[in-house]
Homo-oligomer: A and B are copies of this chain.
Amino acid sequence: MKIAICQSNPIIGDLKGNSAKILFRYKQAVSDGADLVIFPELFLCGYPPLDLVEKKEFRKAVKNAANEIAFQTKKVGLIFGTISEDYEDKVGTGVYNSAALCYDGKIQFIQNKTLIPNYDVFDEVRYFESAKDVFVHEFMGEKLGISICEDIWNDADYWKHRRYTTDPVQKLVDGGATLLINISASPYAYGKRKEKFEMLSVLTKTNNLPLVYVCCVGAQTELIFDGGSMCLNSTGKLQMLGKTFEEDYFIFDNKKNYSEIKEVENSFEEEVFNALVLGLKDYANKTGFKKAIVGLSGGIDSAIVTYIAAKAFGPQNVHVVLMPSKYSSKGSVTDSEKLIENLGITSENISIQPVVDKALEMLKESFKGKDEDVAEENLQSRIRGIYLMALSNKHGYLLCTTGNKSEIATGYATLYGDMCGAVSVIGDVYKTQIYKISNFINRNEEIIPKEIILKVPSAELRPNQTDQDSLPPYDLLDKILKMYLEEQKEFEEICKTIGDANIVKKVLRLVDMNEFKRKQTAPVLRVSTKAFGYGRRFPIVQGWKK
């Protein structure tokens, strides 16, 4: 059977646009001689549709769109992800996350999703009920065993700890499936593609069945979908692999032999860089922004964000603003100018000092008798925020925030200051990882000036300030943060590795007490298994202390 894998990029809720993408590729696949054409999970409405699913008129529109697509099919089969509804169901929502198989002008078969994920960034129990059963469907001589994303993540042979008691894929195997199909929308995190492949390899080998695994691509606000669709043969070998971080379309023939593909994942630096470019590009494309603006401080974070913006928007559409104060080092301007030249972007330089001075003059009476402190520091950052937002409002730039994960974790950022912006581009990347990425960017030539990479990190909000006045060294800090946030290690475990319990306690406390800032952050592009955002939900007001 010749199977067209359509690794496409939907817009959530844009039923017209997504329908057009399905029909375009279906026609192409028909003329390419395919027997079956497959799109990812919930492709018709985009994933995740969130509370749109609760709107009756939205579900109705999805149903109509699905039927219209089906009406245009002929002999060649078409599978796409959609929402379906059981109107007879008197208890619960009666709404399902489904795969629709269409041919001969209508939907011939619907398989609903059985395992409904409800952890981290997944909220599917909120919307979808679990399939009552699974069935194999015979089509063109193959017995198709169709499952949806999470359905394939509960293999008893692979997982030590399972989330669910049922295994829908096992049921499909027991039901005589000759070809497994999984349509998926699984958000990217570094390391996950390798894990997915290993799991799918065990599954196909154990069951002696080939698998077509069709993935979503594109970013949806904070979630990035990396593509990398996979076709495995019945001995667990990878036969075809979709492109990563871009749309792809290719035909897999399960009767043919392909040379085995062994590598599924690039280096951390390359993967994450590509993910962030796609994340920013899609945020802009899908909201209509054509140009970006970044506040350039002379530090590594804003330099990297500017380079990512230049890749996402094209350098001619990126504008940067230098906003020195009396505490800014000379290098903050000269180093930035070098970067601007290297990238070929436009820039302007507007001092914040006159406005800072005027504001402090107006506040003088109110500040009387008080020492200089964080109030004066934040004020500078907030005047910069005002400049950037004024330019964004006036000229229609998308403002990119420049805070990294180490800063957002510890609250080392100013609310309504450097936290201003529509997207937090590197908010899921630790400071030490930022250096790695900058070395990757500079692998062939010096794009990020070495002065920027080598300088001591500083917010430059008071004389001779450095980040390490307030925070432990980044090497140590990031090690603690990674254990606490991604690896979900406990206090005692972290202390055992780090040694110094006081530092660990201080860092964990900073993370816990800054939930209020993160509530008001821009959406953070997610590239790790645990990002600040939708998948991490802690009470803002709380008294838990270890």
Residues in B whose Cβ lies below 8 Å from that of A543: 11-14, 17, 46, 286
| A350, B374: Cα distance in complex, Å | 21
| A102, B49: Cα distance in complex, Å | 45
Segment 475-518 of A: residues with Cβ below 8 Å from B: 488, 490-492, 516
Whether the Cβ atoms of B57 and A491 lie closer than 8 Å is: yes
A92-B164, A516-B422, A541-B287 known; A386 and B389 CB under 8 Å?
A: no
Whether the Cβ atoms of B358 and A373 lie closer than 8 Å is: no
A interface residue numbers (CB < 8 A to B): 11-15, 17, 46, 48-52, 54-58, 90-92, 118-119, 123, 125-126, 161-165, 219-221, 282-283, 286-287, 348, 350-352, 354-355, 358-359, 361-363, 365-367, 370, 373-375, 378-379, 382-383, 385-387, 389-391, 393-395, 415-416, 420, 422, 488, 490-492, 516, 519-523, 536-546
Considering residues A92, A389, A490, which has the most beta carbons from chain B within 10 angstroms of its beta carbon?
A: A389
Other A-B pairs, 5, CB within 8 Å; known A126-B537, A286-B541: A90-B161, A92-B165, A119-B126, A287-B541, A520-B522
CB distance from A386 to the nearest CB of B (A): 5
A282 to chain B: closest residue by CB? B541
CB distance from A385 to the nearest CB of B (A): 6
Whether the Cβ atoms of B390 and A373 lie closer than 8 Å is: no
User: Which single member of B49, B162, B422 contacts A539 (CB below 8 Å)?
Assistant: B49
Whether the Cβ atoms of A537 and B57 lie closer than 8 Å is: no
User: Which single member of B165, B352, B382, B539 contacts A221 (CB below 8 Å)?
Assistant: B539
| A294, B125: Cα distance in complex, Å | 40
CB distance from A212 to the nearest CB of B (A): 28
CB distance from A522 to the nearest CB of B (A): 7
A15 to chain B: closest residue by CB? B544
A286-B541, A358-B355, A542-B11 known; A488 and B54 CB under 8 Å?
A: yes
Whether the Cβ atoms of A539 and B52 lie closer than 8 Å is: yes
Residues in B whose Cβ lies below 8 Å from that of A123: 123, 126, 537
| A367, B220: Cα distance in complex, Å | 33
| A11, B415: Cα distance in complex, Å | 25
Whether the Cβ atoms of B57 and A539 lie closer than 8 Å is: no
User: Which single member of B11, B57, B521 contacts A490 (CB below 8 Å)?
Assistant: B57
Whether the Cβ atoms of A52 and B119 lie closer than 8 Å is: no
Residues in B whose Cβ lies below 8 Å from that of A12: 539, 541-544
| A51, B535: Cα distance in complex, Å | 10
User: Which single member of B164, B221, B544 contacts A58 (CB below 8 Å)?
Assistant: B544
Considering residues A165, A354, A539, A546, which has the most beta carbons from chain B within 10 angstroms of its beta carbon?
A: A539
Sampled A-B contacts (13; CB under 8 Å): A52-B544, A57-B491, A118-B118, A123-B123, A221-B541, A354-B358, A359-B386, A366-B394, A370-B395, A375-B394, A385-B416, A389-B415, A416-B416
| A161, B87: Cα distance in complex, Å | 12
